[in-house]
Structure 1
Amino acid sequence: MALKMATTLECLACLVSFLAGYAHGDKVFDVTKYAASPDGSAEDNSKAFSNAWNAACQYNRSATLVIPKGTFLVGPIVFKGPCVSNPSPSVQIIGQLKAPSSLATFSGPSWIEFNDLHELVLNGSGIVDGQGADAWNNKTCNKEKKCKNLPMSMRFINIVGGQITDLTLRDSKGFHVDFQQSTSITVSHLNISAPGDSPNTDGIHISRTQNINITNVFISTGDDCISIGPGSINVTISDITCGPGHGISVGSLGKYQNEKNVVGVKVKNCTVFDTTNGLRIKTWPGSPPSEASNITFEDITMNNVSRPIIIDQFYCPIHQCTDQPSRVRIHDVVFRRVTGTTNTPVAVTLSCSSSMPCKNVQLQDIDLNFVSSNATKITSSCLNVEGEASGTQNPNPCV
């Protein structure tokens, strides 16, 4: 009896403490209280979202910006810090956000941007719809091949500490999610999708960002599922389902002057299917000097993948390319326990620079087979690469 009473008193004390904490600081900023409406215009809803965010950002205690049930057409919006409180206000997306279809609405590189925030929590069961079809079919995009600068759906800049979870993103005009100059980020349980022929719709792009963990994400787009750009340090990617698309890529690297090195990438426990590449490192020819090192791909399952394992230091998707070798130095790379099927005869391609040969590339327990039951023999191709193979090797290694 005494134990039961003590337990009851403890529960009451917890409840009182929780209510006291809520009364002394926790506050919800609902965008509909600031005139956002499912019937509103993109411009009016953008203003309402901005007003709600500014109020939450200036609040000196714990705050949450809430986008409730409903479908909101909203134009470009920046959730800008620094805010009065630390951590910054949380953002909960429960409803559906739709971007304007017309590119004329966008003057910057992104649709929804989070900038200069600390300990950002972004979650919810909502949908972020970039409505990219009109942009992909735009004459300028298709005929002049200018699809590279289409607005990203979500851009994160200067975020120190963050958790992005449980959202659905679809049909972004450009990249779906982009991280720049950020640190200590966890990304999990996202569902990202766009048609397989949509141009430059990378699922998640990372650059100049360190200590980022991406896990339990489904990505189906027209470009890289995840692309890891210059300045990425200590990147962990796990339990990703990727396909269709262009696979999981480090790069492209070496396109611009003064790029920062890529150091410490681990990709593990992923499934890649129906993609044009599997696990890829790509650098531009004639590039300025930089490095990509300490990269491990392990426990990866391939299903009907073209070029399952590829290092390409001759990457050049445009028509005019230099014949000068890449000066990105690639070293200490491991492909370990990569299994499944390929739909091209050359399953492993390691094409490295003549001026900067790849060093210490390890192939460990690779078991790839041709996708059909015919007798097509799969092979490996190597150029300017030093390394070794161990364990099961199918196809026969060329290092």
Structure 2
Amino acid sequence: MQDIVSVILVLQLILTANSINIFKITDFGATRTKDISEALKKAWQNATESPTKSQILIPRGDWNLSQALLSGPNKAPMNLEVQGHLKAHPDPAKIRDKKKGWIGITNVDYLTISGGGILDGQGQEAWKNNDCKTNATCEKPPINLVLNAITNSIIQSITTKDSKFFHANCIWSRNVTFQNLTVSAPGDSPNTDGIHMARSSNITVIDSVIKTGDDCISMGDNLTDVVIKNVTCGPGHGISIGSLGKYQKEKDVKGIRVEGCIFNNTTNGIRVKTFRSSPVNTRVSDLHFIDLTMVNAANPIIFDQNYCPNKQCPSGLPGSVKISGVEINNVTGTSATQDVITFNCSSQACQNITIGTINLEYKGKKGSSATTFCRNIMPKFIKFTKQIPPVCHFNSVFLSVSQIYDQFMDNFM
């Protein structure tokens, strides 16, 4: 009898593990002719309370969504299955709490967002009135997809289109993967970063296409263990770390790997930007930029420690953000600017920079060849690799004689 009971318990566990509760928004009153916010919220609440796996299903077709603020905690893994085309109201004023995003998801574990559908921010009207580039006190439009405090989650096989502001952000999160994500916005759309991440760890972006008007991927402070692999970026401003150094309580960035990515007609490739006159001692370390292809990309590799948009910082003061432990290897293709590699570093701030194969050709002015610009840096070179053009060969301005000697000896030790 005890054996039979044990078998039944095992079968129940197997059935429970494989069962899934499906909450279809149409079962909660959603129709194609009205706002589905309430129906989606009810379906979500039922899913978070489910003791077994659950799915919130948004079927194929066009759906109007004013705003969805969806929070946990949840009791079991959840799947937000977006098969349809979700449309935001074109007027950003119609979204009540802009800071929380158009679709805001917070405090959940084991969430999957998938389905092949489209999150359409319809941002054209918001872009016309966006003055955030020149107005520090502007009201920021809503982000398409806000992810705060999510863990062990996957966002895959969906499209985020024409966001009014950033397409997606990932803050205070851990173990999150973006896979087969498509981001689509015109190259002249303002502040439409593809993915912004900060204050998080173990974030992965793979096998994705990002076409936008700002950074394809931007990284803020307090960020560790990020992998960005097989991402095609362009149009856009490239993949950026920073800007950093503007705020007093910023924390370090460590362990960033960008590999196998393509930059197609972007205004930057890989960029690390830190404020001039920075009041903090943030450290940026353990960076790896490997197997990157530039297709007419401006500034393929740029480290700028004199970043100062709109003249927001006093002149003449060096930045204090430290950059160290950087590997750059197998970066090839074509550049739209003559300085294909730029290290505009503060004194003593860029250290332990290792460079391998570089093969970048300038495709601009006829008769001009590719060059590099190096300030306060002399990198180490991986043996048996070649750099075209030569990188920082004794053209590091403002290095002291002793610094030049020490770094020269490092390359031959």
TM-score, length-scaled by structure 1? 0.90
Given candidates 119, 123, 132, the residue that maps to 2:114 is: 123
For 2:262 and 2:132, the matched residues in 1 are separated by 31
Aligned to 1:279: 270
Alignment of 1:18-37 (within 5 A): 21=15, 25-37=19-31
Contact 2:113 2:156 in 1 (8 A): yes
For 1:342 and 1:206, the matched residues in 2 are separated by 27
Whether 1:48 and 2:39 are equivalent positions in the alignment is: yes
For 2:220 and 2:132, the matched residues in 1 are separated by 23
Contact 2:327 2:355 in 1 (8 A): yes
Aligned to 2:163: 172
Aligned to 2:176: 185
Secondary structure of the structure 1 residue equivalent to 2:26:
helix
Residues 48-80 of structure 1: per-residue CA shift (max 9 Å, x gap): 111111122122222110101121111121120
For 1:122 and 1:139, the matched residues in 2 are separated by 29
Whether 1:108 and 2:84 are equivalent positions in the alignment is: no
Residues 73-109 of structure 1: per-residue CA shift (max 9 Å, x gap): 11121120012x233x211000011111111122232
Aligned to 1:302: 294
Aligned to 1:350: 343
For 2:177 and 2:359, the matched residues in 1 are separated by 32
Alignment of 1:1-399 (within 5 A): 21=15, 25-41=19-35, 45-83=36-74, 85-87=75-77, 89-106=78-95, 107-109=97-99, 110-138=101-129, 140=131, 144=135, 149-287=140-278, 288-323=280-315, 324-354=317-347, 356-371=348-363, 374-390=366-382, 391-398=385-392
Residues 323-359 of structure 1: per-residue CA shift (max 9 Å, x gap): 22211110011110000001111111001113x4200
Cα drift, residue 147 of structure 1: 6.6
For 1:124 and 1:273, the matched residues in 2 are separated by 27
Structure 1 stretch displaced more, 74-83 or 331-340: 74-83
Distance change in 2, residues 1:143/1:163 (3 Å): closer
Q: Which amino acid aligns with 2:314?
A: T
Structure 1 stretch displaced more, 193-202 or 310-319: 310-319
Runs of 4+ aligned structure 1 residues displaced above 3 Å come to 17-20, 22-25, 139-148
RMSD over aligned Cα atoms: 2.1
Distance change in 2, residues 1:147/1:241 (3 Å): farther
Residues 176-210 of structure 1: per-residue CA shift (max 9 Å, x gap): 11000111111100110100011111111110110
For 2:381 and 2:259, the matched residues in 1 are separated by 19
Secondary structure of the structure 2 residue equivalent to 1:173:
coil
Q: How many residues align?
A: 377
Cα drift, residue 269 of structure 1: 0.5
Contact 1:147 1:199 in 2 (8 A): no
Contact 2:179 2:207 in 1 (8 A): yes
Q: Which amino acid aligns with 2:340?
A: A
TM-score, length-scaled by structure 2? 0.87
Aligned to 2:405: none
Aligned-pair identity (%): 38
Cα drift, residue 232 of structure 1: 1.1
Cα drift, residue 375 of structure 1: 2.2
Cα drift, residue 373 of structure 1: 8.6
Structure 1, unpaired ranges of 5+: 1-16
Secondary structure of the structure 2 residue equivalent to 1:233:
strand
Residues 273-298 of structure 1: per-residue CA shift (max 9 Å, x gap): 10111111111112211010000000
For 2:275 and 2:139, the matched residues in 1 are separated by 16
Q: Which amino acid aligns with 2:80?
A: V
For 1:158 and 1:274, the matched residues in 2 are separated by 34
